[in-house]
Structure 1
Amino acid sequence: MSGVVAQARPAHRLTADLTSHLGVGIGAGSGWKILSQAGVDPAPRRAGPTWRQFLTAQAHTILACDFFTVDTVFLKRIYVLFFIELATRQVHVAGVTAHPPGTWVAQQARNPLMALDQRFGWLRFLLRDRDAKFTAAFDRVFTAAGIDVLRTPPQAPRVNAFAERWVGTVRRECTDRMPIVGEQHLSSVPTEYTAHYNGHRPHRSLGQQPPNPPPQVIDLTAARIQRRPILGGLINEYTQAA
């Protein structure tokens, strides 16, 4: 028993070893209790950086992607494919469709690469989940450009936390607050909101600056402020008047 614990094996490996060598059935809970009493975590960290350390060190080289869905007033589900740069938090909406086959998703994969332009050369990794809509043809678009595709573990949304956080933001501030009629209507809504998100919405992680801030600096002591409503007045942007 002490030899098994000393090797710091996970609980399911411990129970398998006991069953195969001793012929004694033992549950995963008992294996966890044995490891816990010995001061060993169920799944100790291997050599190398943690996932958070990896993301922090490689953020400027990582592009993440995901889908989010919007249900229309006619109960039709529409899919939105987007990409987000981890370093700058800048978002690129690649496409909107009610039927996202693998061929369509692979075709839309080229859009963010064109949008990145000169920054494209800095990319090393694409982070995505294991959704079946991300086919081998989708991955080849990035691997052909020298970008490695990182797939998240099953049922682990926190691994792609940057993309998941943006989904929550766009829903709370935009799509959950306005009725969507159809695919054509939705195709314009994320584009307009993303322009606001990238150019005006402040981010705490960026020192209250947007991902792509405007060049002018507003002097609140002398400037006249102009309000510009977007999305039909759902959100307001404030800029210095000319």
Structure 2
Amino acid sequence: MLLEAEGVDPATQRSNVTWATFLHSQADAILAMDFIETVTLSGQRQYTLAAIHHARRGVRELGTTAHPTHAWVTQAIKNLVIDLEDAGHLAAIKFMIRDRDAKYPAVIDEILGQAEIRTVLTAIRTPPMNSIMERWVRSLRRELLDRALLWNEAHLRRALREYEQHYNHHRTHRPLQTAAPLHAVPEPLEPVQIERLGIRRRDRPGGVLHEYQHAS
């Protein structure tokens, strides 16, 4: 009655948007991030913060440390915003999906907000809400962390940098029609080219990962 007296019309019928619909419709505008824990041979627990783009699946390793303090995480997010701006991608990103881990300080939401990126929190103990990020973490563990002997933080950092390069430029993805996140699918070969086809293999890091390309 109060709204009617003030001349305010009833609200239009709103339809609920499911989480899956949101992820699918906004994929080009979504980044997601998470921490990955691993223990080196020195016995030290390391925390790696990484972010992934939902549409292109390109991943960015934001840093590795044994002490993920609020100051460290804040600086990592500031660096991410600067990198996105330098690459000309900042304007396209509108959402950052993350969980409610206490390692994230509240100030990072303000930093992202200043860049017009809205933080979207997943529900408590609901990893499927951050499924793209979780899928990358499983790939990282299966393809690198569970197969390599990593001595210390410096060794882990080098291995993660190599994996990031491999994942972004060489690892194919079915949702991308077998392209890599930052590398287009090569043009089909003509039959005469296939007859003389030579393949060169590159092993990295230390033979854990294999990359193949046409020999010139």
Shorter-normalised TM range: 0.7 to 0.9
Name the structure 1 match of 2:9. none
- Please tell me the residue identity of whatever aligns with 1:71: V
Query: Which residue of 18, 23, 28 maps to 1:60?
Result: 28
Query: Residue 78 of structure 1 contacts residue 183 of structure 1 at CA under 8 Å; is this kept in 2?
Result: yes
8 Å contact from structure 2 (residues 90, 115) kept in 1: no
Q: 2:111 aligns with which of 134, 141, 144?
A: 141
Tell me how large the CA RMSD over aligned residues is: 1.6
TM-score, normalised with respect to structure 1: 0.77
How far residue 48 of structure 1 moved from its aligned partner, in angstroms, is: 1.4
In the alignment, does 2:174 pair up with 1:174? no
Letter aligned with residue 229 of structure 1: D
Partner Cα distance (1:140, 1:77) in 2: 29
Matched, 1:238 2:212: yes
Counterpart code for 2:208? L
The answer to whether 1:100 aligns with 2:68 is: yes
Give the whole-Å Cα distance in 2 for the aligned partners of 1:121 and 1:110.
15
Unaligned runs of 5+ in 1: 1-45
Q: Tell me the distance in 2 between the aligned counterparts of 1:214 and 1:240.
A: 15
Question: Which amino acid in structure 2 is aligned with residue 126 of structure 1?
Answer: M
Corresponding residue for residue 19 of structure 2: 51
SS in 2 for 1:212: coil
TM-score calculated relative to the size of structure 2: 0.86
Structure 2 distance, partners of 1:158, 1:216, is 33
Cα deviation, residue 217, structure 1: 3.5
> Which deviates more from structure 2 when the two are superposed, residues 125-134 or residues 205-214?
205-214
Equivalent position SS for 1:81: strand
| Alignment partners' CA distance in 1, 2:188 and 2:163 | 23
1:144-194 per-residue CA deviation (whole Å, 9 max, x = no partner) reads 111111111111111011111111000000011011111111111111001
| Contact 1:102-1:138 within 8 A present in 2 as well | no
Q: Give me the whole-angstrom Cα distance separating, in 2, the residues matched to 1:88 and 1:159.
A: 18
What is aligned with 1:119?
A: 89
Inter-CA distance 71–218: structure 2 relative to 1 (3 Å threshold): farther
4+ residue stretches of structure 1 with deviation over 4 A?
none
1:85 matched to 2:53? The reply is yes
Whether 1:110 aligns to 2:75 is no
Which runs of 5 or more structure 2 residues have no equivalent in the other structure?
1-13
1:73 counterpart (16, 37, 41): 41
One-letter code of the match for 1:192?
E
Give the distance between the partners of 1:107 and 1:165, measured in 2 at CA: 26
Identity among equivalent pairs (%): 38
- The residue number in structure 1 matching 2:99 is 129
What is the rounded CA distance, in whole Å, between the counterparts of 1:237 and 1:218 in structure 2? 18
> Looking at CA atoms only, which structure, 1 or 2, has the larger radius of gyration?
1
Residues 1:156 and 2:126 are matched in the alignment? yes
Judging by fraction of residues, say which structure has more helix: 1
TM-superposed deviation, 1:216 = 5.0
